[in-house]
């Protein structure tokens, strides 16, 4: 309910999401442990959609995101999602957490008169400070007390094993709802703001479907699909580690399950959903071993809605705000974030902080895009520093370290030959230095050892072809040795073997050395 309120939707939509999306994801997904429903990670995205198009547009976004997730599953993109840089994930998660926490200030302080149409973090924060004189002291006290209880309960759980499975948010809701209702304390509640919660199961409906806004909502739907896939697959990885079971989740099937969940949720009155790490972890700690744990979670929420729905209207809004601030603290992983900022490489810290700030002040989509591009740029920058080709020369010990002692001795007997090794990826990032190194001296025949080349792309092939032509134009010989079978097939298909001459391709470097005649010894003039 708190997450639904945070995005500007009626509280009951959060319960419908947990019931129907949760059951569908557990049944059709690829993880035995993931528990799906509304999550804090989606709050900034969905609240932005609700501000621009109204909360009525949220089901449409969920439906579109569901289609995209199913498409991602069909094209086997599950494993690719897991390669998103860690600094980007930590960055946008921390940005989301800060956005959620500051976004709940109005509810925690019971501030009135603020502009509900403001979208960006800094605008909403400044607007709250402008209306701070309208804050309600009693509501502030309830919210801070609930927040204190939540953090205290975590410490109690660490010390008292018997209460470990009792969630702090449940304790806070029950306790402060009872206090405010029993003592008749004046404070905003769910019922005073949103009306009483319905206690019946909704009927399927497509009333939300609107073709006219598909293109307007497409960027948001793409962002929701990406974030849902990342969140769900990370959650599955965490759950696998906690369960310590040899069986692992199927990432592509998990995307399928999340896609079906996001198709069903809007039809049943819910909002977009993804797997929730906190709920999943609680399920694993409670001994869950199969996907039925998510189904029973959904059934429990359904029973709670039908039985306890009339009482839920008495929950103070400030308590829900405290729960969301507590959730934001947890998902931000503040101790881990602090450690990264203090100890991670400087360039990674810059990407991390920039991703946080872009998430806060602009948009999560921009933050993810920037983080991925910046991380890729830094990776390429590091790869450029690695030599793609280097001469095989003896070190201080008197031998060539990259080869066997026997081959090293043989190479040092032939100073008339230039020996080079190619290594790593021969790609667009490295071909310039590769070409420069091999074209420095054409006075000697060149043996290019390619045993350590693991990949070559079109840029690498064209550059190697150019190096061969350059040496041939200067009357110099070039020989390729120690090619891996896959590399040999690639060069053959591109025509490199014909270009260099098949009699200049050898399985072993020693064979290439033997194929080059020694230069004639100079004849000494007799006295």
Distance CA 296, CA 281 (A): 15
Mapping DSSP onto H, E and C, the string for 484-510 reads CHHHHHHHHHHCHHHHHCHHHEECCHH
- What would the pLDDT profile of 81-131 be if each residue is shown by its tens digit? 767 788 888 888 888 888 888 888 888 888 888 887 777 778 888 888 888
- DSSP assignment, residue 272? -
Distance CA 353, CA 355 (A): 5
Confidence grade of residue 299 (pLDDT, cut at 50, 70, 90) = very high
What Rg value do the Cα atoms of the chain yield, rounded?
31
Mean pLDDT throughout 359-366?
A: 80
Please provide the distance, in angstroms rounded to a whole number, between the alpha carbons at the two ends of the chain.
107
Give the pLDDT confidence score for residue 118 in this predicted structure: 74
Give the pLDDT confidence score for residue 527 in this predicted structure: 45
Mean pLDDT throughout 290-312?
A: 87
Give the pLDDT confidence score for residue 278 in this predicted structure: 76
- HSE-CB at 469 with a 13 A cutoff on CA atoms is 8
Residue 39 and residue 19 in contact, taking contact as beta carbons nearer than 8 Å: no
How is domain 389-514 classified at the CATH fold level? Transcription Regulator spoIIAA (3.30.750)
Q: Residue 478 in 3-state DSSP?
A: strand
Distance CA 456, CA 476 (A): 24
Mean pLDDT throughout 9-20?
A: 93
Mean pLDDT throughout 14-37?
A: 93
| More confident position, 247 or 499 | 499
Give the pLDDT confidence score for residue 79 in this predicted structure: 79
Distance CA 418, CA 447 (A): 6
What's the length of the chain?
A: 527
The domain spans of the chain are 2-379, 389-514
Whether this model's pTM surpasses 0.85: no
- What would the pLDDT profile of 417-453 be if each residue is shown by its tens digit? 999 999 888 888 888 888 988 988 888 999 999 998 9
Mean pLDDT throughout 514-523?
A: 76
**How many CB atoms are closer than 10 A to CB 451?**
16
Q: Does residue 525 have a pLDDT over 70?
A: no
Residue 256 and residue 66 in contact, taking contact as beta carbons nearer than 8 Å: no
Give the pLDDT confidence score for residue 524 in this predicted structure: 54
**Nearest partner of 356 among 91, 55, 103, 121, judged by Cα:** 91
Give the pLDDT confidence score for residue 522 in this predicted structure: 58
Residue 376 and residue 404 in contact, taking contact as beta carbons nearer than 8 Å: no
Mean pLDDT of the chain, nearest integer: 88
Distance CA 3, CA 13 (A): 9
Name the strands in the sheet holding 505-506, side by side, starting at the edge strand that comes first in the sequence: 389-391, 418-426, 446-456, 478-481, 505-506
């Amino acid at each position: 309910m708190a997450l639904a309120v945070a995005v500007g939707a009626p509280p009951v939509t959060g319960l419908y999401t947990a019931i129907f999306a949760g059951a569908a994801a557990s049944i059709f997904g690829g993880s035995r442990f993931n528990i799906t429903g509304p999550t804090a990670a989606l709050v900034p995205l969905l609240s932005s959609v609700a501000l621009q198009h109204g909360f009525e547009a949220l089901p449409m976004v969920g439906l579109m995101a569901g289609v995209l997730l199913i498409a991602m599953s069909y094209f086997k993109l599950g494993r690719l999602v897991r390669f998103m840089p860690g600094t980007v994930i930590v960055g946008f998660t921390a940005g989301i957490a800060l956005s959620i926490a500051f976004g709940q200030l109005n509810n925690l302080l019971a501030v009135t008169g603020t502009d509900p149409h403001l979208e960006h973090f800094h605008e909403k924060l400044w607007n709250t400070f402008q209306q701070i004189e309208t804050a309600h002291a009693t509501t502030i006290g309830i919210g801070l007390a609930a927040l204190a209880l939540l953090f205290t309960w975590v410490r109690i759980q660490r010390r008292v094993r018997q209460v470990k499975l009792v969630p702090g948010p449940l304790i806070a809701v029950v306790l402060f709802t009872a206090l405010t209702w029993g003592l008749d304390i004046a404070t905003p509640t769910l019922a005073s703001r949103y009306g009483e919660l319905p206690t019946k199961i909704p009927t399927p409906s497509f009333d939300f479907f609107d073709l006219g806004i598909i293109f307007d909502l497409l960027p948001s739907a793409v962002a929701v699909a990406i974030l849902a896939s990342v969140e769900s697959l990370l959650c599955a990885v965490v759950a696998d580690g906690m369960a310590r079971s040899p069986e692992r989740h199927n990432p592509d099937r998990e995307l399928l399950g999340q896609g079906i969940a996001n198709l069903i949720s809007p039809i049943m009155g819910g909002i977009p959903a993804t797997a929730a790490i906190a709920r999943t972890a609680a399920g694993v700690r409670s001994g869950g071993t199969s996907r039925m744990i998510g189904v029973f979670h959904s059934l429990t929420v359904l029973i709670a809605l039908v039985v306890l729905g009339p009482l839920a209207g008495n929950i103070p809004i400030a308590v829900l705000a405290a729960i969301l601030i507590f959730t934001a603290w947890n998902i931000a992983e503040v101790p881990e974030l602090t450690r990264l900022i203090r100890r991670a490489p400087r360039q990674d810290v810059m990407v991390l902080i920039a991703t946080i700030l872009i998430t806060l002040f602009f948009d999560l989509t921009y933050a993810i895009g920037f983080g991925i591009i910046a991380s890729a740029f830094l990776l390429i920058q590091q790869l450029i520093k690695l030599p793609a080709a280097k001469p095989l020369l003896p070190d201080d010990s008197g031998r060539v370290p990259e080869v066997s002692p026997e081959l090293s001795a043989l190479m040092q007997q032939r100073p008339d030959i230039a020996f080079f090794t190619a290594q790593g990826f021969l790609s667009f990032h490295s071909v310039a230095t590769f070409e420069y190194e091999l074209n420095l001296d054409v006075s000697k025949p060149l043996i290019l050892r390619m045993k350590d080349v693991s990949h070559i792309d079109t840029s690498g092939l064209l550059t190697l072809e150019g190096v061969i032509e350059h040496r041939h134009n200067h009357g110099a010989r070039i020989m390729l040795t120690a090619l891996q079978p896959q590399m040999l097939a690639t060069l053959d298909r591109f025509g490199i073997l014909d270009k260099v001459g098949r009699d200049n391709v050898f399985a072993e470097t020693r064979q290439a050395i033997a194929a080059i005649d020694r230069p004639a010894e100079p004849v000494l003039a007799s006295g």
